[in-house]
């Protein structure tokens, strides 16, 4: 009798165990992925990868989504989707997909995907969003050295030195990540103790990827002497050139009053302020530097950039012009292009043309003729467009200039109702250089549309939009496509 009573007491527990067991069995059965399902998934991923490598992004996305629906617990499909969105400049959409749809994958794979999106924010200089995203990746509770390294770099970019140090000192890095972490830790340490920085730099053998950076910094550390202003300036130049201006400010700002008569130190402090977006402080330091004599072109160029940052185009133009003047008859391509692009973006077309004519007196570089075409398209001067194209016809061009030349030549022929055979020859040359050139497909679509081939034109224009990662012709192609459809 007593045994029967004891058994009755156990019945609820037995039922509970059976229910839990049943639920567990149901979960395993319903979530079990069969060999056939995995094979179908792999085939779909392969198809998506093929389309992605052919830059057929829309088709690739469709395949990736189909794969994700098949097995939402695998990473590959989501990684493909996020990669395409990031390449198309849609980082916010990538994060939304990750947070809403990719939650069935395991924690380790989630960390990989958060790293992918966080790095994308980092590369577009949205450090707050990068840190927020990467912190979510850390929150899944697994170690990921790629994630932790980029977190450290974000902290360093934001000037949060203590947290950056904690990230770089973690004992989880290997290979290239270890080399980079030690290098960045050495950069930080050198702001206060060069010997510690030397020790950290020498504690590992650099991988090939980072060897040049190790050699550069090792040489700089070895050259330091008792002149603190010299030391701070020498190291700051490296910090700034490697993209970490906050370290330069850490070094130079405390000795600002001592730098009054030290040209390079004052200049690099101004550069550092510019890089972090503190334009007023940058201009204050650069104004001090310009009075010391020397480095005028670099100082004025940096001032121009600061004024662009402040949206003060008049002062930017004045300083760009002075910088060009100090560089003499053949100013650097980088300075000319930056100044030209600033003028054209602000519709100072006549001023851009005057600059071009001035430089052409002493330089016949092909990139200048391309600017001549761009300027005269804005001025609607067909004669001058054709003139600059004829100058380029006679030159042997590097690939990047040749691509632009062929585009503008085909465009000019189309705009001027040129010979169809010649247009096709130029377009063929453009395609041979770059089979994924968005501008090629845009011009081809235009030609096909004008010849009455609506279906072919529609296909070409859709490809143009698909391949246009920089959105250079997307707006024009979309307008024309709406007319075709």
Q: Give residue-wise pLDDT tens across range 272-329.
A: 999 999 999 999 999 999 998 899 999 999 999 999 999 999 999 999 999 999 999 8
* Residue 81, C-beta contacts closer than 8 angstroms, at least 6 positions apart: 61, 64, 65, 68, 94, 97
Angle, vertex CA 155, rays to CA 153 and CA 159, nearest 5: 115
**Residue 105 pLDDT more than 60?**
yes
Mean pLDDT of the chain: 93
What is the pLDDT averaged over residues 442-469?
95
CB 207 within 8 A of CB 177: no
Helix pair 245-252, 263-275: axis angle to 10 deg: 140
pLDDT at 13: 62
Residue 329 DSSP code: S
- The Cα–Cα gap between 272 and 453 comes to 55
CB 192 within 8 A of CB 159: no
- The Cα–Cα gap between 128 and 45 comes to 33
* Residue 173, C-beta contacts closer than 8 angstroms, at least 6 positions apart: 145, 148, 149, 181
Residue 7: band (very low, low, confident or very high) from pLDDT cuts 50, 70, 90: low
CB 153 within 8 A of CB 244: no
Residue 165 DSSP code: H
What is the pLDDT averaged over residues 37-43?
94
Higher pLDDT, 29 or 75: 75
* H-helix segments, 242-348: 245-252, 263-275, 279-290, 296-309, 313-327, 333-345
- The Cα–Cα gap between 358 and 356 comes to 5
pLDDT, tens digit (0-9, with 9 covering 90-100), for 212-233? 999 999 999 999 999 999 999 9
Residue 30: band (very low, low, confident or very high) from pLDDT cuts 50, 70, 90: very low
Q: How far is CA 312 from CA 4, 239, 279, 428, in A?
A: 92, 28, 11, 44
Find tokens 């499909």 and name the residue.
77
* Residue 146, C-beta contacts closer than 8 angstroms, at least 6 positions apart: 112, 115, 177
**Residue 396 pLDDT more than 50?**
yes
The residue among 156, 110, 160, 155 whose CA lies nearest residue 136 is: 110
- The Cα–Cα gap between 198 and 189 comes to 9
CB 169 within 8 A of CB 188: no
The residue among 375, 345, 381, 378 whose CA lies nearest residue 359 is: 375
- The Cα–Cα gap between 367 and 419 comes to 26
CB 204 within 8 A of CB 178: yes
Give the number of C-alpha atoms closer than 13 A to the C-alpha of residue 454, restricted to the C-beta side: 4
Q: What's the full length of the chain, in residues?
A: 485
Residue 28: band (very low, low, confident or very high) from pLDDT cuts 50, 70, 90: very low
pLDDT, tens digit (0-9, with 9 covering 90-100), for 404-446? 999 999 999 999 999 999 999 999 999 999 999 999 999 999 9
**Residue 381 pLDDT more than 90?**
yes
CB 149 within 8 A of CB 181: yes
Residue 253 DSSP code: G
pLDDT at 29: 46
Dig out the tokens for 272 from the structure: 């550092």
pLDDT at 25: 47
Find tokens 């839990």 and name the residue.
20
Dig out the tokens for 123 from the structure: 């590369």
pLDDT, tens digit (0-9, with 9 covering 90-100), for 111-142? 999 999 999 999 999 999 999 999 999 999 99
Find tokens 């679509």 and name the residue.
445
Dig out the tokens for 24 from the structure: 């567990």
The residue among 174, 176, 228, 220 whose CA lies nearest residue 197 is: 220
The residue among 179, 131, 169, 158 whose CA lies nearest residue 247 is: 158
Residue 73: band (very low, low, confident or very high) from pLDDT cuts 50, 70, 90: very high
- The Cα–Cα gap between 230 and 223 comes to 10
- Collect contacts of 444-452 with beta carbons under 8 A, ≥24 apart: 445/477, 445/480, 445/481, 445/484, 446/414, 446/480, 447/414, 447/420, 447/423, 449/480, 449/483, 449/484, 450/414, 451/420
Dig out the tokens for 396 from the structure: 């042997």
pLDDT, tens digit (0-9, with 9 covering 90-100), for 152-196? 999 999 999 999 999 999 999 999 999 999 999 999 999 999 999
Enumerate domains of the chain plus CATH numbers. 397-485 (1.25.40.10)
- The Cα–Cα gap between 23 and 338 comes to 65
């Amino acid at each position: 009798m007593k045994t029967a009573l004891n058994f009755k007491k156990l019945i609820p527990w037995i039922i509970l165990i059976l229910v839990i067991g049943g639920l567990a069995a149901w979960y395993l059965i319903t979530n079990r992925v069969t060999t056939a399902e995995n094979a179908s998934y792999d085939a779909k991923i392969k198809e998506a990868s093929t389309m992605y490598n052919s830059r057929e992004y829309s088709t690739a996305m469709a395949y990736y989504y189909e794969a994700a629906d098949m097995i939402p617990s695998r990473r590959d499909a989501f990684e493909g989707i996020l990669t395409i969105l990031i390449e198309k400049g849609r980082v916010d959409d990538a994060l939304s997909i990750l947070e809403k749809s990719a939650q069935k994958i395991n924690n380790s794979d989630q960390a990989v995907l958060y790293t992918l999106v966080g790095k994308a924010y980092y590369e577009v200089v949205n450090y707050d969003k990068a840190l927020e995203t990467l912190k979510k990746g850390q929150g899944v509770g697994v170690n990921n050295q790629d994630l932790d390294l980029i977190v450290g770099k974000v902290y360093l970019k934001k000037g949060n030195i203590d947290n950056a140090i904690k990230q770089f000192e973690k004992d989880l890095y290997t290979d290239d990540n270890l080399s980079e972490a030690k290098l960045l830790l050495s950069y930080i340490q050198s702001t206060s103790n060069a010997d510690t920085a030397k020790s950290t730099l020498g504690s590992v053998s650099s991988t090939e990827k980072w060897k040049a950076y190790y050699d550069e910094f090792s040489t700089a550390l070895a050259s330091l002497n008792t002149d603190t202003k010299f030391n701070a300036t020498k190291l700051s130049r490296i910090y700034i050139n490697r993209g970490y201006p906050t370290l330069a400010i850490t070094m130079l700002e405390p000795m600002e009053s001592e730098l009054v008569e030290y040209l390079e130190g004052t200049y690099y402090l101004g550069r550092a302020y510019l890089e972090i977006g503190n334009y007023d402080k940058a201009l204050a330091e650069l104004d001090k530097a310009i009075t010391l004599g020397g480095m005028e072109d670099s100082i004025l160029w940096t001032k121009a950039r600061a004024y662009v940052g402040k949206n003060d185009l008049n002062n930017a133009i004045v300083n760009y012009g002075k910088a060009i003047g100090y560089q003499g008859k053949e100013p650097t391509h980088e300075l000319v292009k930056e100044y030209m692009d600033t003028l054209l973006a602000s519709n100072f077309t006549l001023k851009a043309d005057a600059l071009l004519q001035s430089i052409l007196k002493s330089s016949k570089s092909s990139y200048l003729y391309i600017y001549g075409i761009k300027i005269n398209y804005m001025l609607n001067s067909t004669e001058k467009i054709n003139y600059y194209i004829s100058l380029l016809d006679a030159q042997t061009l590097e690939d990047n200039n040749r691509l632009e030349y062929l585009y503008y030549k085909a465009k000019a022929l189309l705009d001027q109702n040129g010979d169809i055979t010649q247009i096709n020859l130029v377009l063929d040359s453009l395609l041979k250089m770059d089979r994924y050139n968005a501008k090629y497909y845009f011009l081809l679509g235009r030609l096909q549309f004008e010849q009455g081939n609506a279906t072919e034109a529609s296909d070409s224009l859709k490809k143009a939009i698909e391949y246009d990662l920089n959105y250079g012709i997307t707006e024009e192609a979309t307008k024309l496509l709406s007319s075709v459809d």
